[in-house]
Protein backbone atom coordinates (compact mmCIF):
# COMPACT_ATOMS: atom_id res chain seq x y z
CA UNK A 1 0.00 0.00 0.00
CA UNK A 2 1.18 3.59 -0.31
CA UNK A 3 4.14 4.41 1.89
CA UNK A 4 2.55 7.19 3.94
CA UNK A 5 0.19 4.59 5.46
CA UNK A 6 2.76 2.00 6.48
CA UNK A 7 2.60 2.58 10.23
CA UNK A 8 -1.12 3.23 10.65
CA UNK A 9 -1.87 -0.40 11.31
CA UNK A 10 -4.93 -2.59 11.64
CA UNK A 11 -7.70 -2.51 14.27
CA UNK A 12 -9.80 -5.56 15.10
CA UNK A 13 -13.08 -5.43 17.00
CA UNK A 14 -13.29 -8.02 19.78
CA UNK A 15 -16.55 -9.21 21.35
CA UNK A 16 -15.90 -12.78 22.49
CA UNK A 17 -17.95 -14.39 19.69
CA UNK A 18 -16.51 -17.27 17.62
CA UNK A 19 -16.25 -15.17 14.45
CA UNK A 20 -14.54 -12.43 16.46
CA UNK A 21 -11.75 -14.82 17.50
CA UNK A 22 -11.27 -16.00 13.92
CA UNK A 23 -11.16 -12.30 12.92
CA UNK A 24 -8.44 -11.66 15.53
CA UNK A 25 -6.28 -14.51 14.16
CA UNK A 26 -6.80 -13.40 10.55
CA UNK A 27 -5.99 -9.77 11.44
CA UNK A 28 -2.85 -10.84 13.32
CA UNK A 29 -1.55 -12.73 10.29
CA UNK A 30 -2.47 -9.89 7.93
CA UNK A 31 -0.76 -7.29 10.15
CA UNK A 32 2.35 -9.50 10.23
CA UNK A 33 2.37 -9.81 6.41
CA UNK A 34 2.04 -6.04 6.07
CA UNK A 35 4.47 -5.46 8.94
CA UNK A 36 2.14 -2.98 10.67
CA UNK A 37 0.89 -2.74 14.28
CA UNK A 38 -2.29 -4.54 15.36
CA UNK A 39 -4.69 -3.07 17.90
CA UNK A 40 -7.41 -5.14 19.60
CA UNK A 41 -10.42 -3.13 20.71
CA UNK A 42 -13.41 -4.09 22.83
CA UNK A 43 -16.17 -1.53 23.29
CA UNK A 44 -18.15 -1.69 26.54
CA UNK A 45 -21.63 -0.38 25.68
CA UNK A 46 -22.44 2.90 27.41
CA UNK A 47 -24.92 2.47 30.26
CA UNK A 48 -28.37 3.87 29.55
CA UNK A 49 -29.34 6.12 32.44
CA UNK A 50 -33.03 5.81 33.27
CA UNK A 51 -35.12 8.99 33.24
CA UNK A 52 -36.83 10.57 36.25
CA UNK A 53 -39.23 8.36 38.13
CA UNK A 54 -37.34 5.19 37.21
CA UNK A 55 -34.75 5.34 39.98
CA UNK A 56 -36.16 2.28 41.76
CA UNK A 57 -35.10 0.06 38.82
CA UNK A 58 -31.78 1.77 38.24
CA UNK A 59 -29.03 -0.45 36.84
CA UNK A 60 -27.24 -2.30 39.67
CA UNK A 61 -23.88 -0.70 40.48
CA UNK A 62 -21.99 -3.93 39.89
CA UNK A 63 -23.46 -4.40 36.39
CA UNK A 64 -21.05 -1.86 34.89
CA UNK A 65 -18.17 -3.57 36.66
CA UNK A 66 -19.31 -6.95 35.29
CA UNK A 67 -19.38 -5.53 31.73
CA UNK A 68 -15.89 -4.12 32.24
CA UNK A 69 -14.53 -7.42 33.62
CA UNK A 70 -16.09 -9.36 30.77
CA UNK A 71 -14.56 -6.92 28.27
CA UNK A 72 -11.11 -7.41 29.82
CA UNK A 73 -11.53 -11.20 29.61
CA UNK A 74 -12.44 -10.93 25.93
CA UNK A 75 -9.40 -8.74 25.28
CA UNK A 76 -7.03 -11.08 27.16
CA UNK A 77 -8.37 -14.10 25.28
CA UNK A 78 -8.02 -12.19 21.97
CA UNK A 79 -4.51 -10.98 22.81
CA UNK A 80 -3.42 -14.56 23.46
CA UNK A 81 -4.98 -15.72 20.16
CA UNK A 82 -3.35 -12.85 18.21
CA UNK A 83 0.12 -13.53 19.61
CA UNK A 84 -0.21 -17.28 18.95
CA UNK A 85 -1.32 -16.64 15.36
CA UNK A 86 1.89 -14.85 14.41
CA UNK A 87 5.62 -15.14 15.09
CA UNK A 88 6.90 -14.41 18.64
CA UNK A 89 8.78 -11.30 17.49
CA UNK A 90 5.41 -9.71 16.62
CA UNK A 91 4.06 -9.79 20.20
CA UNK A 92 5.28 -6.25 20.92
CA UNK A 93 3.31 -4.95 17.90
CA UNK A 94 0.00 -6.14 19.37
CA UNK A 95 -1.77 -3.68 21.69
CA UNK A 96 -5.25 -3.71 23.18
CA UNK A 97 -7.77 -1.28 24.57
CA UNK A 98 -11.18 -1.35 26.23
CA UNK A 99 -13.29 1.62 25.15
CA UNK A 100 -16.68 2.83 26.38
CA UNK A 101 -19.46 4.00 24.11
CA UNK A 102 -21.55 2.82 21.20
CA UNK A 103 -19.77 0.12 19.23
CA UNK A 104 -20.17 1.23 15.61
CA UNK A 105 -19.40 4.96 16.15
CA UNK A 106 -16.36 4.03 18.30
CA UNK A 107 -14.95 1.79 15.55
CA UNK A 108 -15.84 4.34 12.83
CA UNK A 109 -13.83 6.94 14.80
CA UNK A 110 -10.86 4.59 14.90
CA UNK A 111 -11.24 3.89 11.17
CA UNK A 112 -10.11 7.45 10.41
CA UNK A 113 -6.61 6.65 11.66
CA UNK A 114 -5.88 3.10 10.48
CA UNK A 115 -5.36 1.11 7.27
CA UNK A 116 -8.12 -1.40 7.92
CA UNK A 117 -10.75 -2.41 10.47
CA UNK A 118 -11.39 -6.15 10.88
CA UNK A 119 -14.56 -7.63 12.41
CA UNK A 120 -16.33 -10.96 12.65
CA UNK A 121 -19.39 -11.28 10.45
CA UNK A 122 -21.74 -11.98 13.36
CA UNK A 123 -21.18 -10.57 16.78
CA UNK A 124 -22.00 -11.72 20.27
CA UNK A 125 -25.67 -12.64 20.63
CA UNK A 126 -26.46 -12.24 16.94
CA UNK A 127 -29.23 -14.52 15.71
CA UNK A 128 -27.60 -17.49 13.99
CA UNK A 129 -29.48 -16.93 10.73
CA UNK A 130 -28.82 -13.19 10.58
CA UNK A 131 -26.52 -12.83 7.60
CA UNK A 132 -24.49 -9.90 8.78
CA UNK A 133 -24.25 -8.68 12.36
CA UNK A 134 -25.20 -5.09 13.11
CA UNK A 135 -21.59 -4.15 13.89
CA UNK A 136 -20.11 -5.46 10.65
CA UNK A 137 -23.06 -4.04 8.69
CA UNK A 138 -22.60 -0.62 10.32
CA UNK A 139 -18.89 -0.58 9.56
CA UNK A 140 -19.17 -1.56 5.92
CA UNK A 141 -21.56 1.38 5.53
CA UNK A 142 -19.73 4.06 7.49
CA UNK A 143 -16.03 3.32 8.02
CA UNK A 144 -13.37 5.68 6.69
CA UNK A 145 -11.02 2.90 5.61
CA UNK A 146 -11.28 -0.61 4.16
CA UNK A 147 -13.20 -3.13 6.30
CA UNK A 148 -12.46 -6.87 6.44
CA UNK A 149 -15.39 -9.08 7.42
CA UNK A 150 -14.36 -12.54 8.62
CA UNK A 151 -16.71 -15.52 8.79
CA UNK A 152 -16.82 -18.17 11.49
CA UNK A 153 -14.78 -20.86 9.80
CA UNK A 154 -11.03 -20.43 10.08
CA UNK A 155 -9.79 -19.33 6.64
CA UNK A 156 -6.56 -21.30 7.12
CA UNK A 157 -8.34 -24.63 7.47
CA UNK A 158 -11.05 -23.74 4.96
CA UNK A 159 -8.73 -23.03 2.02
CA UNK A 160 -5.30 -23.96 0.76
CA UNK A 161 -2.66 -21.25 1.41
CA UNK A 162 -2.08 -21.37 -2.37
CA UNK A 163 -5.70 -20.37 -3.13
CA UNK A 164 -5.89 -17.09 -5.06
CA UNK A 165 -7.16 -13.65 -4.09
CA UNK A 166 -10.20 -12.48 -6.11
CA UNK A 167 -11.03 -8.86 -6.92
CA UNK A 168 -14.05 -7.30 -8.63
CA UNK A 169 -13.01 -4.59 -11.11
CA UNK A 170 -15.56 -2.12 -12.50
CA UNK A 171 -13.67 1.15 -12.91
CA UNK A 172 -15.26 2.98 -9.97
CA UNK A 173 -12.96 4.80 -7.48
CA UNK A 174 -13.51 2.21 -4.74
CA UNK A 175 -12.84 -0.53 -7.29
CA UNK A 176 -9.43 1.08 -7.95
CA UNK A 177 -8.69 0.92 -4.23
CA UNK A 178 -9.96 -2.68 -4.12
CA UNK A 179 -7.58 -3.58 -6.96
CA UNK A 180 -4.63 -2.04 -5.12
CA UNK A 181 -5.49 -3.90 -1.90
CA UNK A 182 -5.94 -7.18 -3.82
CA UNK A 183 -2.56 -6.89 -5.59
CA UNK A 184 -0.89 -6.06 -2.28
CA UNK A 185 -2.50 -9.01 -0.48
CA UNK A 186 -1.75 -11.45 -3.34
CA UNK A 187 1.86 -10.28 -3.48
CA UNK A 188 2.41 -10.67 0.27
CA UNK A 189 0.76 -14.11 0.28
CA UNK A 190 2.63 -15.26 -2.83
CA UNK A 191 -0.57 -16.30 -4.62
CA UNK A 192 -2.32 -15.59 -7.93
CA UNK A 193 -4.91 -12.87 -8.40
CA UNK A 194 -8.19 -13.40 -10.23
CA UNK A 195 -9.46 -10.06 -11.57
CA UNK A 196 -13.12 -10.30 -12.55
CA UNK A 197 -14.80 -7.66 -14.68
CA UNK A 198 -18.53 -8.02 -15.34
CA UNK A 199 -19.80 -5.68 -18.03
CA UNK A 200 -23.52 -6.28 -17.73
CA UNK A 201 -25.68 -6.39 -14.63
CA UNK A 202 -28.58 -8.04 -16.44
CA UNK A 203 -27.54 -11.65 -16.40
CA UNK A 204 -26.56 -13.61 -19.53
CA UNK A 205 -27.96 -11.94 -22.62
CA UNK A 206 -30.36 -13.75 -24.88
CA UNK A 207 -29.00 -13.21 -28.41
CA UNK A 208 -32.18 -14.15 -30.24
CA UNK A 209 -34.21 -11.45 -28.53
CA UNK A 210 -31.67 -8.66 -29.01
CA UNK A 211 -30.80 -9.57 -32.61
CA UNK A 212 -27.05 -9.37 -32.14
CA UNK A 213 -24.74 -11.11 -34.53
CA UNK A 214 -22.06 -13.08 -32.67
CA UNK A 215 -19.33 -10.97 -34.33
CA UNK A 216 -20.67 -7.79 -32.67
CA UNK A 217 -20.84 -9.66 -29.40
CA UNK A 218 -17.18 -10.65 -29.73
CA UNK A 219 -16.24 -7.04 -30.52
CA UNK A 220 -17.83 -5.86 -27.28
CA UNK A 221 -16.15 -8.64 -25.34
CA UNK A 222 -12.76 -7.77 -26.87
CA UNK A 223 -13.26 -4.10 -25.98
CA UNK A 224 -14.11 -5.01 -22.39
CA UNK A 225 -11.02 -7.25 -22.17
CA UNK A 226 -8.92 -4.27 -23.27
CA UNK A 227 -10.61 -2.06 -20.67
CA UNK A 228 -9.77 -4.59 -17.94
CA UNK A 229 -6.17 -5.00 -19.14
CA UNK A 230 -5.73 -1.19 -19.06
CA UNK A 231 -7.11 -0.96 -15.52
CA UNK A 232 -4.68 -3.63 -14.31
CA UNK A 233 -1.63 -2.48 -16.27
CA UNK A 234 -0.23 0.01 -13.72
CA UNK A 235 -0.71 -2.42 -10.84
CA UNK A 236 1.00 -5.23 -12.74
CA UNK A 237 4.04 -2.99 -13.20
CA UNK A 238 4.12 -2.28 -9.44
CA UNK A 239 3.58 -5.93 -8.50
CA UNK A 240 5.44 -7.90 -11.19
CA UNK A 241 5.50 -10.99 -8.95
CA UNK A 242 1.70 -11.39 -9.03
CA UNK A 243 0.30 -13.72 -11.69
CA UNK A 244 -3.05 -12.30 -12.79
CA UNK A 245 -5.91 -14.25 -14.32
CA UNK A 246 -8.30 -11.89 -16.07
CA UNK A 247 -11.94 -12.96 -16.25
CA UNK A 248 -14.42 -10.95 -18.33
CA UNK A 249 -18.07 -11.94 -18.12
CA UNK A 250 -21.36 -10.57 -19.33
CA UNK A 251 -23.34 -11.49 -16.26
CA UNK A 252 -24.32 -10.38 -12.79
CA UNK A 253 -21.02 -9.58 -11.01
CA UNK A 254 -22.03 -10.85 -7.56
CA UNK A 255 -22.89 -14.29 -8.91
CA UNK A 256 -19.57 -14.60 -10.72
CA UNK A 257 -17.53 -13.25 -7.79
CA UNK A 258 -19.15 -15.78 -5.46
CA UNK A 259 -18.38 -18.54 -7.96
CA UNK A 260 -14.69 -17.51 -7.99
CA UNK A 261 -14.73 -17.15 -4.18
CA UNK A 262 -15.42 -20.88 -3.81
CA UNK A 263 -11.81 -21.55 -4.84
CA UNK A 264 -10.22 -18.47 -3.24
CA UNK A 265 -8.84 -17.39 0.15
CA UNK A 266 -9.89 -13.74 0.04
CA UNK A 267 -12.28 -11.54 -1.97
CA UNK A 268 -11.84 -7.78 -2.34
CA UNK A 269 -14.69 -5.55 -3.60
CA UNK A 270 -15.42 -1.84 -3.78
CA UNK A 271 -18.04 -0.48 -1.40
CA UNK A 272 -20.26 0.69 -4.26
CA UNK A 273 -19.57 0.03 -7.86
CA UNK A 274 -20.19 1.41 -11.28
CA UNK A 275 -23.24 3.60 -11.17
CA UNK A 276 -23.16 3.77 -7.39
CA UNK A 277 -23.72 7.35 -6.37
CA UNK A 278 -21.91 8.85 -3.33
CA UNK A 279 -24.98 8.81 -1.09
CA UNK A 280 -25.52 5.11 -1.70
CA UNK A 281 -24.32 3.28 1.37
CA UNK A 282 -23.25 -0.08 0.00
CA UNK A 283 -23.61 -1.48 -3.48
CA UNK A 284 -25.70 -4.57 -4.11
CA UNK A 285 -22.64 -6.48 -5.32
CA UNK A 286 -20.60 -5.91 -2.18
CA UNK A 287 -23.64 -6.65 0.01
CA UNK A 288 -24.23 -9.97 -1.74
CA UNK A 289 -20.56 -10.96 -1.57
CA UNK A 290 -20.02 -10.02 2.09
CA UNK A 291 -23.22 -11.82 3.10
CA UNK A 292 -22.67 -15.00 1.13
CA UNK A 293 -18.95 -15.72 0.68
CA UNK A 294 -17.75 -18.07 3.41
CA UNK A 295 -14.24 -16.58 3.24
CA UNK A 296 -12.76 -13.23 4.35
CA UNK A 297 -14.02 -10.26 2.33
CA UNK A 298 -12.34 -6.84 2.27
CA UNK A 299 -14.65 -3.99 1.33
CA UNK A 300 -12.63 -1.09 -0.04
CA UNK A 301 -13.94 2.09 1.56
CA UNK A 302 -12.48 5.56 1.22
CA UNK A 303 -12.44 8.45 3.71
CA UNK A 304 -15.55 10.60 3.47
CA UNK A 305 -16.68 13.73 5.22
CA UNK A 306 -18.91 13.08 8.20
pTM, 2 dp:
0.85
First to last CA, the chain: 24
Residue 128 has pLDDT above 50, yes or no: no
The total of other beta-carbon atoms located within 10 Å of residue 127's CB is 8
**pLDDT 10s digits, 245-277:** 999 987 778 888 999 999 999 999 988 755 444
**pLDDT 10s digits, 171-226:** 888 889 999 999 999 999 999 999 999 876 554 555 544 555 566 667 787 888 99
More confident residue, 17 or 229: 229
Residue in 297, 284, 296, 278 with CA at minimum distance from that of residue 172: 278
Count Cα neighbours of 122 within 13 Å in the Cβ-side half-sphere: 15
Residues pairing with 247 in the sheet = 196
Helices (H), 87-211: 103-111, 134-142, 155-158, 173-189, 207-210
Residue in 120, 164, 158, 131 with CA at minimum distance from that of residue 288: 131
Residue 4 has pLDDT above 50, yes or no: no
Eight-class DSSP state of 11: E
What is the per-residue pLDDT for 115? 96
Count Cα neighbours of 99 within 13 Å in the Cβ-side half-sphere: 21
- pLDDT over 90 percentage in the chain: 48
More confident residue, 289 or 124: 289
Q: Measured between alpha carbons, how far is 135 from 42 in angstroms, rounded to an integer?
A: 12
**Geometric angle at alpha carbon 115, from 73 and 283, rounded to 5°:** 100
Sign of CA dihedral 284, 288, 290, 293: negative
What's the average model confidence in pLDDT over 106-133? Answer: 76
Average pLDDT, the chain: 82
Residue in 166, 169, 173 with CA at minimum distance from that of residue 229: 169
Amino acid sequence: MSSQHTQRGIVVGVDGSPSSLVAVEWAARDAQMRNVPLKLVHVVPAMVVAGEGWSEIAVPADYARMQEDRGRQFIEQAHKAAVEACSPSRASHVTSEVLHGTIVPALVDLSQHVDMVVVGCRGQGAVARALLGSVSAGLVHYADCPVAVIHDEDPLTARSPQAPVVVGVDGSPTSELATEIAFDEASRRGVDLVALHAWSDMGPLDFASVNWAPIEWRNIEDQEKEVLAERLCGFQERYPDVVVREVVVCDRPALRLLEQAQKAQLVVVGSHGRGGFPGMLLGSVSTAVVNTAGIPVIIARMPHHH
